[in-house]
Amino acid sequence: MILLHNPRMRRRRLGVAATAAGLLAALLTAGPAAATPDPGDAPIAGQKVDERTRAEVRTAIADGEIPGQDEIVHSANIEHLVNVPKDALPGTNSDLAFQGKYAFSGNYDGFRIFDISNPRAPKTVAQVLCPGSQNDISVSGDLLFLSTDSSRSDSSCNSTTQPVTEKSSWEGMKVFDISDKANPKYVAAVETACGSHTHSLVPERGNVYIYVSSYSPNAAYPDCQPPHDGISVIKVPRKAPEQAAVVGFPVLFPGEGPDGGGNPGAPTNPGVSKTTGCHDITVLPSRDLAAGACMGDGILFSIRDPEHPKVIDQVQDNVNFAFWHSATFNQKANKVVFTDELGGGGAATCNAEIGPDRGADGVYDIVGKGDKRKLVFRSYFKIPRHQADTEVCVAHNGSLIPVPGRDIMVQAWYQGGVSVWDFTDSSHPKEIAYFERGPVNTERLTTAGPWSAYYYNGHIYSNDIAKGFDVLKLSDRRTDPARWVRLRELNVQTQPDYFFDY
């Protein structure tokens, strides 16, 4: 059953049990949300919760405060067109990329290509088995790029997991030729320090530069040594991708000692991740700018020389941010939205106990000019619907909805669903649409829900960790002008200049 907007769901009693208080204490003292062994090698499991929490969830469903298990609810201005369940790749669904009539869906077991020429009936074109978390995905021309951030026996798609303490283990970037979408060909692999948790493309006519984000070094890891206070830069010749290679490791957080110059984390800043690299970077090639979400720091840097990025400003939030996760520019490049992955994407953080400021987005204005630009905090935004304590909920990947004169984005929140929100007024952001499912499990804390939710050529596409590929249609006078914007290609972490790209 599909329900439209229910006013009772705006304020929920969830999240006030003693178990939630225990969770809050754990989050306040938690360490970095480090990369973990490949979850794609096993089905999604849950964590037990006590009977009091289970009873609270059952009561909330019975009282209509939250949707029932797997029940779909949404605002009146969103239509759910279709869900395509997972098929040959049962692992965790991850990021999305787009090109022409195709959508490319990352999955911890590989990737899937959809023909979305009819958004109401996506067709599978290819499924490629190539395990290796988290298989962050992007495309440029005839090339597809895939991140591997789990320790593998080798760089092949037949590899198995192997301890990261073994020198022979492999992590890094994989490159595929997708000139024939039905038959992708694996053409290159490049090993990078600490693997590749995520990556961002800086495309040029003859080459594609890749900024590789990875983190959590350890003296016991032969290929991931501290301080690891920068990013790997890979250069891929378009006409000879087999020659792809690391061309540099620019240090973004210079400093004395073994830990570099980023946020020291605990005990100096309790509850904040120590900065040992970046989690994700969004580049804005048309402005020679990039924004880095780097564990304990948010940074703004120039990419005028793509092989030698230069940090312009660096900010921290040691009160409410735990793990700087991702970044989104507005169209005028005078704002950046940073997300906080409180709980590392494994906790129920969208409840009354955690509150509206922790685990939220941070809206920053960019003030000044040139290399003197500064990031100035304006406000937090968090979805206004509390989730059950069996629902992992976290601020995750989103994109701009290209509306001239307004700053609106769509964003994934795991089991918090998909949220569309307006930050035109940096100090007073507000949600204008949403889509979500009820808990996938009412007995255990479970990771599920949208990993990525992006707007592309008239529709919202969401990659649900557990449920598959969703297509949504947004009908709202505030966002309708975006329907006229058409892109040839979209990698959200390579943010386009929307109004000059069609």
- CB-side exposure of 352: number of CA atoms within 13 Å? 10
Measure the CA–CA gap between 283 and 303, rounded to whole angstroms: 8
What is the per-residue pLDDT across 379-421, written as a single tens digit (0 to 9) for each?
A: 999 999 999 999 999 999 999 999 999 999 999 999 999 999 9
pLDDT over 60 (residue 231): yes
pTM of the complete model beyond 0.85 = yes
Identity of the residue numbered 187: V
User: Per-residue pLDDT tens for 45-65?
Assistant: 678 899 999 999 999 999 999
Q: What is the pLDDT of residue 274?
A: 95
Digit-coded pLDDT (tens) for 115-172: 999 999 999 999 999 999 999 999 999 999 999 999 999 999 999 999 999 999 999 9
Q: Where are the domains of the chain?
A: 2-500
- The pLDDT assigned to 411 comes to 98
Structural contact between residues 38 and 108, judged by C-beta atoms closer than 8 angstroms:
yes
- Cα 425 from Cα 421, distance rounded (Å): 11
CATH code of 2-500, in short, is 2.130.10.10
Contact indicator for 117, 101 with CB cutoff of 8 Å = yes
Residue 495 amino acid letter = Q
**What pLDDT digit, counting tens, does each position of 190-210 carry?**
999 999 999 999 999 999 999
DSSP state of 390: T
Sign (positive/negative) of CA torsion 176, 172, 278, 324? positive
**Cα–Cα distance for residue pair 417/465, rounded to 1 Å:** 11
